[in-house]
Amino acid sequence: MSANGAGPLLEVEGLVVRYPVSRGIVGTLARRPRRFVDAVADVSFSIGRGELLALVGESGCGKTSTAQAVLRLIRADAGSVRFDGVDVGRLGAGPLRALRRRMQIIYQDPYESLDPRFRVRATVEEPLAIHHVGSRSERYAAVVHALEQAGLTPPELYLDRYPHELSGGQRQRVAIAASLALGPELLVADEPVSMLDVSVRAGILGVLDGLRRAGLAVLMITHDLSTAARFADRIAVMYLGRIVEEGPARAVIDSPRHPYTKALLSVVPRRDPRHRVNAQILRGETPNPIDVPSGCRFHPRCPVAIPACSATDPQLEPVGDRHRVACLLAGR
């Protein structure tokens, strides 16, 4: 059924998402030139079936905007997003709607993700109703199956519950079930466990892991490197709208090549109090995307920057097996 059976399911190339900056009253009256912020500034990556890519970065790095552009919930200003070979940006309303069945999203906040007036059955059935799929009995079967896939067993116990009767972890599973009802091929998970208690996170991540092994492609957005290291096949580290390092999860974690990645990994706290901390705490905070530094975006905070770094904007270059880094010093 796929047009592009051999290649990756999702291919993002040169993605740019731009937001206008408010000029204020004075600016508008004085007709100051409109300025823009590139929340996503030339991002390229791909995800294959059964692969989990973790998009990691701090706030303001553009990971959420990237995910929304992938699903065409917002418009990309440049670049392309190809899903199964088809350019998502050029689709009309009808084909786009059909595409929604094949890629889905789950959000960070399980307490806000479900309509409080819908029972679980209605929430999970909604995508089927929206796309006019299946008869009553077929929908019931699909709902039950989706609940089971999300780990809510026995499903009958949950069908008539309201969200307020469920815990955070259970609600997130309902959201997952709702996204699975149509049998998507790509799932975008935006910080799926950051608002859940530690003891239930592994359960949710386990569900995503199981789905991945069954062939689902997953784009997981997270700020938690430990989770990414454990559950992702590949990790892409974003900084100020760009991917600065991307590769197999083990490679990025064990042999990071970008100074930002190295610094991030060094400051993530470990469980073992005896861990020898060698934290490279960067000074200051991520600069405002309005004032992007010249040359390499990271150079003002980089502990190993050389003069060339302020002049040249490095591109992603391969440094290992499917491992790419955007740093002038990476080769050495």
Partner 1 sequence: MKPPLLQVEDLHVWFDLPDGRELHAVRGVSLRVAEGERFGLVGESGCGKTTTILALMGLLPPTASVAGRVVLGGEDMLARGERTLAPHRWRDVAMVFQGAMNAFNPVRRIGAQLVEPMELHGVAEGAAARRRAGELLERVGIPAARANAYPHEFSGGMRQRAAIAMALACNPKLLLADEPTTALDVMVQAQIMELLVALTNELGLALVLVTHDLPIVAQTCKTAAVMYAGELAETGPVETLYHEPRHPYTRLLFAATPDLDDVEGEVVAIPGAPPRLDRPIEGCPFRPRCDRAFAACVNAPRLVAVGDGHLAACHLNAGVAA
Partner 2 sequence: MTTAELVEAPPVPVAPPSFFTRLRRSPVLSSRQALVGLGILLLFVLTGIFGPIALPHDASLKVGPVFQSPSLAHPLGTDGGGADMLYLLIDGASVSLLVGFAAAAVSAVIGGLVGLLAGFFGGRTDIALMRLTDYFLVIPDIPLMIVVAALFGRSLTNIILIIGAIYWTSTARLIRAQTKTVRERVYVRRARALGAGNTRLIVRHVLPQVTPLLIANTVLLIAYAIFAETFITFLGLGDPSKISWGRLIENAFQDDAILNNAWWAIVPPGLAVTVVVLACTMTGQAMEDAMNPRLRAGHLSVRRFRLRRWPPGSP
Output the smallest distance, CB 222 to partner 1, in A. 11
Ramachandran angles phi, psi of 168, nearest 5°: -60, -45
Which residue among 10, 193, 205, 328 contacts partner 2 (CB under 8 A)?
Answer: 205
d(CA 219, CA 8): 13
Nearest to 47 by CA among 235, 178, 208: 235
| Cβ-based nearer residue to partner 1, 102 or 230 | 230
Q: Could you tell me how far CA 14 lies from the centroid of its own chain?
A: 17
d(CA 243, CA 45): 9
Using only C-alpha atoms, what is the Rg of the chain?
Answer: 21
Q: What is the longest distance spanned by two Cα atoms in the chain?
A: 68
Question: How many alpha carbons fall within 13 Å on the CB side of residue 145?
Answer: 10
315 touches partner 1 by CB under 8 A:
no
Strand partners, 17: 40
Task: Count residues binding partner 1 (CB under 8 A).
Answer: 41
167 touches partner 1 by CB under 8 A:
yes
Which residue among 141, 157, 290, 308 contacts partner 2 (CB under 8 A)?
Answer: 157
Strand partners, 104: 187
148 touches partner 2 by CB under 8 A:
no
d(CA 71, CA 188): 8
Going by the DSSP 8-state scheme, the letter that residue 77 receives in this structure is: S
d(CA 235, CA 325): 12
Binding characters for partner 1, 231-250, by CB under 8 A (x = yes): x-----------------xx
Give per-residue burial for 249-273: e unless 16+ CB within 10 Å, then b.
Answer: bebbbeebbbbbbebbbeeeeeeee
The stretch near partner 2 (CB under 8 A) out of 1-9, 103-111, 243-251, 284-292 is 103-111
Which residue among 48, 151, 248, 300 contacts partner 2 (CB under 8 A)?
Answer: 151
Residue 100 interacts with, from partner 2, partner 1, none (CB under 5-8 Å by kind) = partner 2
Nearest to 180 by CA among 210, 224, 135: 210
Using CA of residue 147, residue 150, residue 151, residue 152, what is the dihedral sign?
negative
22 touches partner 2 by CB under 8 A:
no
At 89, is the secondary structure helix, strand, or coil? helix
95 touches partner 2 by CB under 8 A:
no
154 touches partner 2 by CB under 8 A:
yes
Reported residue count of the chain is 332
Output the smallest distance, CB 87 to partner 2, in A. 19
Which residue among 202, 292, 319, 329 contacts partner 1 (CB under 8 A)?
Answer: 202
Which residue among 205, 216, 235, 244 contacts partner 1 (CB under 8 A)?
Answer: 205
Nearest to 192 by CA among 176, 215, 211: 176
Output the smallest distance, CB 275 to partner 2, in A. 23
Which residue among 216, 282, 296, 302 contacts partner 1 (CB under 8 A)?
Answer: 282
278 touches partner 1 by CB under 8 A:
no
Which residue among 227, 251, 298, 326 contacts partner 1 (CB under 8 A)?
Answer: 227
| Binding stretches for partner 1 (CB under 8 A) | 58-59, 167, 197-203, 205-206, 223-227, 229-231, 249-250, 253, 263-265, 267-275, 277, 279, 281-282, 285-286
| Binding stretches for partner 2 (CB under 8 A) | 71, 73, 97, 100-101, 104-107, 109, 112-115, 117, 126-127, 130-131, 151-154, 157-158, 160-161, 165-167, 169-170, 175, 178-179, 200, 202-203, 205-206, 209-210
